[in-house]
C-alpha cells in the first residue's frame, strides 16, 4: 500500500523556468511533510518541510504547497538551475511517529 505517491517518475525543465514536482498521499493522519533531494550513491538531503497547519512554506527558490483537502503537495523550484538536477522525494510523517514514509521519487533534469 503506497501511502505516499509521486506519479511522475521523471521531469525535464529548461534552465530558468519553474519546476513543479507533485506528491499525493492517502493517509489523512499525516501532519508533516518534507521534500528531499538525492544524488546517486548519496543519502537524501533535506530541502524544505511543511506542517499540516500551513498551506505554504517558502525558502529561497523552493516553495512547498499543501492542499489538505486534496491530500496533495507540490514543490516549486524557481528559477530552475542545472544543479537542481537530481531525484526528489517527498516524505510524510504523523505526530508521535518519527519514521518517514517516502514517495517513489521524481527524477528532475534541468536542461541548459
Partner 1 sequence: GAVVSQHPSWVICKSGTSVKIECRSLDFQATTMFWYRQFPKQSLMLMATSNEGSKATYEQGVEKDKFLINHASLTLSTLTVTSAHPEDSSFYICSAHAGTGTGYTFGSGTRLTVV
Interacting residues toward partner 1 by CB under 8 A: 9, 34, 36, 41-46, 49, 89, 98-105
Cα–Cα dist 70/37, whole Å:
24
Residue 39, classed as helix, strand or coil, is coil
Question: Which residues fall within 8 angstroms of residue 4, CB to CB, at 6 or more apart?
Answer: 23, 24, 25, 26, 30, 90, 91, 92, 101, 102, 103
**38/79 with CB nearer partner 1:** 38
**14/51 with CB nearer partner 1:** 51
- Shortest spacing between CB 104 and partner 1, in angstroms: 4
**74/104 with CB nearer partner 1:** 104
Q: With beta carbons less than 8 A apart as the criterion, state whether 6 and 89 touch.
A: yes
- Shortest spacing between CB 61 and partner 1, in angstroms: 18
**49/74 with CB nearer partner 1:** 49
- Shortest spacing between CB 42 and partner 1, in angstroms: 6
- Shortest spacing between CB 71 and partner 1, in angstroms: 18
Q: With beta carbons less than 8 A apart as the criterion, state whether 37 and 86 touch.
A: yes
Amino acid at each position: 500500500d503506497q501511502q505516499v505517491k509521486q506519479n511522475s517518475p521523471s521531469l525535464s525543465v529548461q534552465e530558468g523556468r519553474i519546476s513543479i514536482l507533485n506528491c499525493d498521499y492517502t493517509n489523512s493522519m499525516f501532519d508533516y511533510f518534507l521534500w528531499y533531494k538525492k544524488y546517486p550513491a548519496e543519502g537524501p538531503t533535506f530541502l524544505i518541510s511543511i506542517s499540516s497547519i500551513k498551506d505554504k512554506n517558502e525558502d529561497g527558490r523552493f516553495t512547498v504547497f499543501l492542499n489538505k483537502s486534496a491530500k496533495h503537495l507540490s514543490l516549486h523550484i524557481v528559477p530552475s538551475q542545472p544543479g537542481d538536477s537530481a531525484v526528489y522525494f517527498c516524505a510524510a510523517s504523523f505526530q508521535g511517529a518519527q519514521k518517514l514514509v517516502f514517495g517513489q521519487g521524481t527524477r528532475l533534469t534541468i536542461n541548459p
